Amino acid sequence: TAVTALTESNKFTAILKDFPELLGNPSNRTATKHSVKHFIPTTGPPCMQRVRPLCPERLKVAKKEFELLIDLGHARPSNSPWASPLHMVKKKNGDWRPCGDYR
């Protein structure tokens, strides 16, 4: 399925307008503070795919987004053998959205 933007006629748009704090402002993201530790036990060989090169424009956007996620504590650098290629999707406004390709 494709990612689509909410339209004014969507039944969830009214709820989001009434409760804007549900989504927050992406430019005002703050670090998450919690004591949750998450671990996924794995068995068998790691699933990984070859790295797909990104054009310089997309690579710059992806690096910036990952730096933000690391700064906020939502992600951390890893040397794990598990890997999925990064896919960049162009938004309607022309910006890029990084997505994992988990096929």
Structural domain contains residue 6: no
pLDDT, tens only, 66-86: 998 888 888 888 888 888 888
**Secondary structure (3-state) at 10:** coil
Residue 5 lies in a domain: no
Tell me whether residue 1 is in a domain: no
pLDDT for 2 equals 59
Residue predicted with more confidence, 1 or 85: 85
| Closest C-alpha to 101, from 38, 54, 41 | 54
- For residue 93, give the CATH number of its domain: 3.10.10.10
Q: What is the pLDDT of residues 28-58, one digit of tens each?
A: 666 667 788 888 888 888 887 888 889 999 9
* Rounded Cα gap, residues 98 and 18, in angstroms: 28
- 1: tokens are 């399925």
Q: Where is pLDDT greater, at 21 or 62? A: 62
Q: Output the average pLDDT for the chain.
A: 81
Structure confidence at residue 14 as a pLDDT band (50, 70, 90): confident
What is the total count of domains within the chain?
Answer: 1
Q: How confident is the model at residue 6, as a pLDDT?
A: 60
Q: Which domain holds residue 90?
A: 11-100
